Amino acid sequence: MIKKNRLKINNERIEVSDTPSESKIKTTREIKGVIVPFGNEMVLSANTEVVITQALGGSYTIIANGEMIRVTKEYADALGQEVLVAENTSESQTLEERIWNELKTCYDPEIPVNIVDLGLIYGVELNAVEDGHDVKIKMTLTAPGCGMGPIIAAEAEHKVRALVGTKQVVIEFVFDPPWDRSRMSDQARLELGMM
């Protein structure tokens, strides 16, 4: 069965490309997650019926008890999923290229598009320090009040901090200029059926 996901970005209705409707599965142990889009923590007990709606970038978006919940890879086994080990990035890439590639592994839990192609990353600045670089990432949100903003930013910070050569990583939220659909890459527009 195929279903069409519908969501709103800045009060504009967008239809996400068709995705297969997953079967209900039962969690095999307790799961901690974050309610989308509010950002509140939620705990699901073992044997809770869930539907996985998105599995991208090492996190999962599930539906359980009428809530959309973002779950990290630490709970993949409880969802009957296997955690895939990411391939090492090429040593021939610059640190900035590796940072951009890592940011492309961070996804909005409601939209199957990474935060770079979605146009949420306004810039990456590197500052040389002893034994590496401090990194400052300018990031915005599709809506300033999005409760998932801090969660997405924390994921981006964690992934970039894990790269060899980074020291301090700071995510700065910026809302000027405000995000709009023109900031999305062609690939994102194609994925969302906007081309």
Q: Are 81 and 56 in contact (CB under 8 A)?
A: no
Tell me how far apart the alpha carbons of residues 107 and 122 are, in angstroms, rounded to a whole number: 16
Q: Are 179 and 115 in contact (CB under 8 A)?
A: no
**Equal fold, 2-79 vs 95-191:** no
State the first-to-last Cα distance of the chain, in angstroms, to the nearest integer: 25
User: 182, 174, 191, 183: which is closest to 124 by C-alpha?
Assistant: 174
Degrees (nearest 5) of the Cα angle 86, 17, 26?
A: 60
pLDDT at residue 107, rounded to an integer: 94
Token digits of residue 138: 């300018």
**pLDDT 10s per residue in the chain (195 long)?**
333 344 334 433 333 333 434 589 999 999 999 999 999 999 999 999 999 999 998 899 999 999 999 999 999 999 999 876 655 556 789 999 999 999 999 999 988 999 999 999 999 999 999 999 999 999 999 988 888 999 999 999 999 999 999 999 999 999 999 999 999 999 999 988 887
* Domain boundaries 2-79, corresponding CATH code: 2.30.30
CA distances from 187 to 118, 168, 193 (A): 9, 31, 10
Token digits of residue 103: 């940011």
CA torsion, points 16, 21, 25, 31, in degrees to nearest 10?
0
pLDDT at residue 145, rounded to an integer: 87
Three-class DSSP category at 149: helix
* CATH classification (class only), 95-191: alpha beta
Tell me how far apart the alpha carbons of residues 162 and 90 are, in angstroms, rounded to a whole number: 15
Domain boundaries, the chain: 2-79, 95-191
User: 192, 195, 194: which is closest to 4 by C-alpha?
Assistant: 192
Mean residue pLDDT across the chain: 86
